[in-house]
A and B are shown apart, each in its own frame.
Chain A
Amino acid sequence: MNQAFVMAPGVMPTPTLPAITALTRPYWDAAAQGRLLLPRCNACSRHFFRPEVACSHCFATDWQWVEASGRGTLYSHSIVGKAPAPGFVVPLVLAIVELDEGPFVLSNLVRCEHRDIHIGMPLQVQFDEVAAGIHLPRFHPRL
C-alpha cells in the first residue's frame, strides 16, 4: 500500500494479522467486499471451516466457496483482560460463533456491553478494516 493506513474510529485494532495463503485468499478478498464466504463440499454438501484442501467432514477435495448469511449465535466467549500480544487493546471479547450454516468460528464479539453477553444470543457479522485491505469478520448482537 502506498498511502498510510488509518483505521476507522471505533474499530478495535488487531496487531496480529491473518497469515493469508493462496488457499484462503478468496475468503479475505470477499471479506474486503463485505461478504462472508464459507467452503462447502460438493461431495457431501456440507459447509466446513476452516478452509482446508479437503472437506473436514468427508475428506473430499472437491469443494467451492459459497456466500454465507453472516448470521449465527454465541456458543462460548471469554473476556480477555491481558493483551495476548503487544498492540491488542483490552478488554476484548473472544467468541465462538455457531454460524447458521453449521460451522463454528472464532471471532470477536463487538458493540456489546459485557453484562449483556449471554450464550445463545443472536449475532450478525461485520467487517472491520484492521490494516490496509485486511477486513476482519467480527460479530455484533443482532436485534
Chain B
Amino acid sequence: MPHPRQATIVGVYQTQQARSLPGRSSQDLVIEAVKGAIADAGLDRRDIDGAAIDWPGPGGAPRDAENWAMYLKQPLSWVDSHHLDTAGVRGVLKAAAAVEMGLCDTAVVGSGRAGPFSADGASPGANMSMEFAEPYGSFVMAQFALVATRHMHEFGTTAEQIAGLSATIRNHGHVNPEAAMFGAGPYSAADILASPLIASPFHRLDCCLINEGGCALVITTAERARDLPCHPVHLLGGGMEFFQGNYANPPLYRDMRRLGHGAVQRAFGKAGVTPRDIDVFSLYDPVSFEVMRQFEMLGLCAEGEGGAFVGDGRLDLGGQCPTNLDGGMLAGSWTGTGQLTLKVIEGVRQLRRVNGARQVAGAELALISNAGSGAQHVELMVLGRA
C-alpha cells in the first residue's frame, strides 16, 4: 500500500507534435495541454492548487507560473516557474515533493512552444552569452559531440554503432502516428551516416528534432488518485545530479563518466528496485550516443560497452530493454522543454498499458531520464503501475 500522500501521476496530455503547427502560439498550445491533462485526470480546473506551468505570454510577467491562478484554483498554494522546473523529471519531482509535503494537493506541470527557436537562426546553445564557448562555434550538439569523441577514443565506440542506435530510435518514431517524423523512415545506419555532418561524430539524423507542440501532466496524492478514472502511476523514486553550469564549461568525459551514478543510487534506492527490474525505458536522447552512455551509467553494461549493448534489437519492443518506443526526441518531438515532459508521459502511458502497437506487455516499472553528459546534469525517476 502506498503512503496516502505518495505522489501519483493521474493525468497526461500531449498536443499534436509537428515541425510546424500553423496558426498555433506557445500560449495556445500550453492551454490546450493543461486543459487536456486535467480532463484526462477526470478533474476540474478548480481542483488544481499547484502549478509548475510555463507562461509564454502574451500578457502577464513572462514565464511566471503565478499567471495560472486566474484559470486554476484561486489562490494557488504552490508554484514553480524556472523553465526547467515546468517540465519533465525535474518539474514532476519538485511538484511531487510539494504534494507529499502537503504544500499543495494536485499540481500541473506543463509547457508549450510554437514559432522560431531563435530570432537569427542560431542553433540551441549557440546564443547564450557564454563568453568562453560560443565565439568558438560551441552549441548543444557540439558539446555532446565532445563527450562522444572522447568515449570513442577511450573505448573504440564507432560512428556506425551510434548511427545504428539512431536508426533504432528513429524507426520507433517511423511507426508511431503521434511522432513528428511518423512515416519518414525506415532508416538504416547507412542512411544516418549519409545525412549531413552536424558535429562529428554526429550527423543530422543522429540529432534530435526542433519542432512545435505542448504537453502537461497532473500529479496528486495516492489517496486522491483512488477516486479518479485512470489507472494511477506512482512516483517510486527520483534522483538529480548537477555537475556544473551547462554549456559554459567544456564537458570532460573524465568527469562525465561518473555523471548520474549518484542519481541512480538515490532513485533506485528509494524505489527499492534495480535497473534490471525496469520493463520500459524512456531515456533522454538529444543524440543517440547519450542513450548508450546512460545504459553504462545504469550499470546495465560496463563502461565502454554501451555501443555493443544497444545493438541486436535489445532496445526494440520485445527486446530486453525496450527504449524510446515513441521515437524519442530523434523522431518524436523536441520543443525546448516539452520533450522533457513527453519522456514522462510515454512512461505513464506504458504503465497504464494503453500504448497500442508499441505497448510493452505487462509493464510494471518505467525509468525516465532527462538531460545528459553534454548538459552536465541528469534527472531520473522510477515510475510504478499501481
Contact = CB atoms under 8 A, between A and B. Distances in A.
Interface of A: 14, 16-21, 24, 49-50, 75-86, 88, 90-92, 94-96, 104-108, 119, 130, 136, 138
Nearest to B151: A76
A8 to B, nearest CB: 17
Contacts, number: 120
Interface residues of B, number: 36
Contact of A50 (B121, B126, B249): B249
Interface in B244-265: 248-250, 252-253
Query: Which label, helix, strand, loop or mixed, suits the secondary structure of the B interface?
Result: loop
A30 B169 CA distance: 48
Contacts of A80: 137, 142, 198-200
A78 B138 CA distance: 10
Given A84-B123, A86-B121, A104 B149 contact: no
A16 B139 CA distance: 12
Contacts of A105: 132, 250
Contact of B133 (A24, A79, A81, A106): A106
A50 B197 contact: no
Looking at B127, B137, B149, the one whose CB has the most chain A CB atoms below 10 A away is B137
Interface of B: 120-123, 126-127, 129-139, 142, 145-147, 149-150, 153, 196-201, 204, 248-250, 252-253
Contact of A130 (B135, B196, B252): B135
Given A78-B145, A94-B199, A86 B135 contact: no
Contacts of B137: 14, 16, 80, 83-84, 88, 90, 92, 94, 108
Given A78-B146, A105-B132, A119-B150, A84 B252 contact: no
Given A78-B200, A94-B146, A108-B137, 14 more contacts: A76-B149, A78-B149, A79-B197, A80-B137, A81-B197, A82-B199, A83-B137, A84-B137, A85-B120, A92-B136, A94-B199, A106-B138, A108-B136, A138-B136
B150 A76 contact: yes
Contacts of A119: 149-150, 153
Given A77-B146, A81-B197, A119-B153, A96 B252 contact: yes
Contact of B127 (A18, A75, A85): A85
Contacts of A85: 120-123, 126-127, 134, 139
Contact of A96 (B121, B146, B197, B248): B146
A47 to B, nearest CB: 14
Nearest to B140: A84
Given A86-B120, A96-B250, A50 B131 contact: yes
